[in-house]
Structure 1
Amino acid sequence: MQDKSPRPDAEPVEPAAGQGQVEVVPPPGREPGPAGAPGPGHHPDPITDLEQRRLEAGVSDQFPFGLLGRPLGRFHPFSIGFTGALGVIVALLLLEALQSAKHVLLLILVSLFLAVGLNPAVERLVRVGLSRGKSVGVVFLAVLLLFTAFGSALVPPIVAEISHFAEQVPVYIAQLQENRKIAEWDAKYKLLEKAQEKLSESDFQKNVADWALSVGKGTLSAIFNTFTVLILTLYFLAGLPQIKMFFYRFTPRSRRARVALLGDEILDQIGNYVGGAFTVAAISGISAYIFLSITGVPYAAALALIVSLTGLIPMVGATIGGVLVTIVGFLTGVPEGIACAVFFVLYQQVENYFISPRIMERSVDVQPAVTIVAALIGGALMGVIGALLAIPTAAAISLIIREVVLPRQDAR
């Protein structure tokens, strides 16, 4: 059976013909009060939700935007100024963070540069038939042997010379006392007495101790940085293909192939430059070792390694190495010094006009003026490492300009 009782919110129904009036039951809360007054839940002029929110926000004729005022838009001066101030603060914090991490970032950059430079040797071994892991191991072992040879050839002579100097200090002092001119100066100005007083001062001893401590810290820091660069180079060299693909995927798919070609070309040029630079440095070191062995200059192997190391520095490296070896030659004897000066002057001419052009002609395609400017800027920004990285960086920028920028300008 259907429930025919009237609903609480039923509207009045007109009676049918022949029927009486139907009593309308008001909905709950709308019952009439005494004497026909509206019930407690009756609102003759109900307030809408919008009006209620306007009242809560304090919107009125006097405050058309509420008690809080006009809402701030995106282009409000306060919004623009506040956003700009936040941007400046974030930029300063990032700059400070980069300054704090400058040393670590420099080690990472050098390691990545060495990995890219050693990659052509790994690729050659892979083409021979070795797997990439074995090729990386062979190349890295060769690098370790090179560093070991450099340390074994350079460190023992330095230690021996320091020990010899410490043993000969009393002899040197006695020779100074026996010298007639020194004796006259000592009698007149009390030089030896003042020197002994200076040596006995606590401040002098403290300064010597601080200098020795700083030298020890510098040596340990250099050793730690060397091992860090070697480990990072090994990791970068092993994962270089994955690293390249990771960065290539940041480009759109439609341009990824083109970007990959340019990227591989840039990395090949950097690798060829590093390989060419090491080849030129090795030739200079071998030539210096042969010459120093013939002339009888002591520590020929250590001096040859110094010549090779300084030869990696663009433009001025060979000159620095030649000057250092020439000074050692003059300390050995005047004829040896003159012979060293003549040899390095002649060798630099041969290297600049015959050896280096033939080896570096396929490595980087950069104009000589651009090379000089890039090396100067890199040296001013990051020292010797900046000068080393400047030339391949200039080659990469030149390749991008030649392959991307200029064709777009020609197409317009």
Structure 2
Amino acid sequence: MAIFKSIGFGKKPQAAATSAPQAPKPEEHELVLHADTTQMDAEVREMYRDAREAAQDAQEEARENPHREFTIGKPFALGFTVTLGVLVALVFGDMIGQLSTILMYVVAALFIALGLDPVVRWLERHGVKRALGIGIVFVGFILIIGGILAIVIPMIGNQIAQLVSSAPEIVRNLTSEQWYKDINERFGEFVDFNALLKMGQDFIGKPSNWASVAGGVWQAGLGIANGLTAGLIVLILSLYFLSSLRTIKRGFYSVVPRSGRAKVIDITEQVTKSVGGYVNGMVVLALVNATLGFIMMTIVGVPFAGLVAVGVFLLALIPLIGSVLATVLVSAIALFNSPITALVAAIYYLIYMQLESYLLTPKIMNRVVSVPGSLVVIGALAGGTLLGLLGALIAIPVTAAVLMIIKQVWIPRQDAR
């Protein structure tokens, strides 16, 4: 026994010498960020404080009474429950597929509401009551949209009519250009450029062809009516979401268990704040892109500058690839004027994209969302495949929300093990 003691056996090890450094608690992890209580209303603030206390009590109880290991006591009941759950999931998935249009309306309205909510909160901080602030912001939003449409729609109509009437002249001018003749001489044996231009001229010059693409005049009229109806539904839902956003969040928090409610409030408040800032930032960037592009196109003589600027604004709303698509669109339209015009437009957009990436986007967007570029591309492709243009628009905030949950929930738990 003396020999064993001399080499360390037979005596209790010293705790200070053998104990490993304890991992930080998940709630104290450096990646965990808590919600700003000053941005909450009184009820949510009280709910949040109560939930923080409940979470601490639950952690102490979990340390004193560890959970038992999972055992299968009734395999038949377990199998029946799993099968029933799978059937419910299949029925739920089918319902989601059938309600996809309505869900797109809801998502679009929710994004508009979250984009307008920061303005309402700013008015509240300056002494305006929330109800009055909602009215001011929503009426201002409708007036801005209506004013833009009142300016853009007649301009688009005039330029479309001008495009139809001037299509033959545009084609004649294009075929007389030296660069077109050179391309036709080199590649004319492979591609009949004259036939392609004739087809485009016939299509543009006959408005009946446009109606046939839309499925006929009746179908085109139905499409316009459906678009107006969808816009009205989204506006009504946006007003509802904006006026009851706090109530909706409180109701959502209430159905979460009290011990886990604080974490849900932390994540939800940060996500909604990020989405609101993201929506505002994307609209500002797209508006700057379209406005500066319109000025450039007017100066260098790009045909139908107003119509193209509207397309640039819509494309610029698409994350990451929107500016590239806008560059291709403007350069292609500028070719109808001259190759020099197309080259100037392409150079302008190459310079603008650099300024947007390194100057405008960091100042406007990085304060609200920060997502790696590779994940932006993957998210935009996945969102566009699932939900079209709306899916591409919401790709960044959804990806940012997933990353936020991983950083603040999953990684701290893994580090605490």
Whether TM exceeds 0.5 here: the answer is yes
Q: Deviations over 1:176-200 (max 9, x none)?
A: xxx9xxxxxxxxxxx9xxx9xxx9x
Equivalent position SS for 2:336: helix
Does residue 118 of structure 2 align to residue 120 of structure 1?
yes
- Alignment length (residue pairs): 313
Please, what TM-score do these two structures have when normalized by structure 2? 0.66
1:251 to 2:256 alignment? yes
Alpha carbons 1:136, 1:237 under 8 Å: kept: yes
Q: 1:103 aligns with which of 101, 104, 107?
A: 101
Shift of 1:157: 3.4
**What is the letter of the counterpart of residue 399 of structure 1?**
M
Give CA-to-partner distance per residue, 1:109-158, whole Å, 9 cap, x none: 11112211221121111111111122222222332233224423432233
Q: Distance in 1 between matches of 2:234 and 2:121?
A: 21
Q: Secondary structure at the match of 1:331?
A: coil
Tell me which residue corresponds to 1:264. Answer: 269
Residue 207 of structure 1 and its aligned partner are, at CA, apart by 5.6
Choose from 203, 223, 233 the match for 2:238. 233
1:321 aligns with 326
Are the counterparts in 2 of residues 112 and 233 from structure 1 also a CA contact under 8 Å? yes
Give percent identity, aligned residues only: 34
* Structure 2 residue aligned with 1:353: 358
Residue pair 1:366, 1:394 contacting (<8 A) in 2 also: yes
2:404 equivalent in structure 1: 399
Shift of 1:291: 1.4
| C-alpha contact 1:157 1:299 (8 A) present in aligned 2 | no
Paired residue for 2:383? 378
- Give the deviation of 1:251 after TM superposition: 1.2
Partner of 1:129: 127
**Partner Cα separation in structure 2 for residue 319 and residue 378 of structure 1:** 18
Q: 1:402 Cα deviation (Å)? A: 1.5
Residue identity matched to 2:226: S
SS at match of 2:268: helix
Measured in 1, the distance between the counterparts of 2:256 and 2:213 equals: 57
Q: Distance in 2 between matches of 1:92 and 1:396?
A: 26
> Displacement of 1:91 after TM fit?
4.6
Matches of 2:320 and 2:290, distance apart in 1: 16
CA drift at 1:277: 1.4
Greater share of helix: 2
User: Aligned partners of 1:313, 1:274: CA distance in 2, in Å?
Assistant: 11
In the other structure, the counterpart of 2:64 is: none
Query: Which structure has the larger Rg?
Result: 1
Alpha-carbon distance, 1:94 to partner: 3.4
Name the counterpart of 2:56: none
Q: Structure 2 vs 1, CA of residues 141 and 296 (structure 1 numbering), >3 Å: closer, same or farther?
A: farther
Q: Give the Cα–Cα distance (whole angstroms) in 1 for the partners of residues 289 and 122 of structure 2.
A: 25
Q: Which residue of 2 aligns with 1:59?
A: none
* Map of 1:213 onto structure 2: 218
Determine if the alignment matches structure 1 residue 341 to structure 2 residue 351.
no
**Superimposed CA distance per residue, residues 338-381 of structure 1 (whole angstroms, 9 cap, x where no aligned partner):** 32222112211221222212222211132333222222221222
> Residue 264 of structure 1: CA displacement?
0.7
Give the letter aligned to residue 310 of structure 1.
L
Give the aligned partner of residue 23 of structure 2.
none
Q: Please name the residue that 2:300 is paired with.
A: 295
The answer on whether the counterparts of 1:153 and 1:302 sit within 8 Å (CA) in structure 2 is no
1:320–1:154 distance in 2 versus 1, CA, 3 Å: farther
For 1:166 and 1:369, the matched residues in 2 are separated by: 42
Structure with more contact order per residue of length (Cα contacts < 8 Å, sep ≥ 6): 2
Using the TM superposition, give the Cα deviation of residue 280 of structure 1 relative to its aligned residue in structure 2, in angstroms.
1.4
State the 1:258 CA deviation. Answer: 3.3
- State the distance in 2 between where 1:306 and 1:205 align: 18
Asked if structure 1 preserves the Cα contact closer than 8 Å seen for 2:315 and 2:326, the reply is yes
CA–CA separation in structure 1 for the residues paired with 2:94 and 2:233: 23
User: Could you tell me how far 1:165 is from its partner in structure 2?
Assistant: 5.7
Counterpart in the other structure of 1:142: 140
Aligned mates of 2:248, 2:275 — CA distance in 1: 16
Deviation at 1:271, TM superposition (A): 1.3
Q: 1:373 to 1:87 in 2, by over 3 A?
A: closer
Q: Deviations over 1:82-110 (max 9, x none)?
A: x8887666554433332221101111011
TM-score of the superposed pair, with normalisation by structure 1 = 0.66
When residues 232 and 298 of structure 1 are mapped into structure 2, their CA distance, relative to the original with a 3 A threshold, is: same
**2-structure distance, mates of 1:156, 1:163:** 11
The CA deviation at 1:162 is 4.3
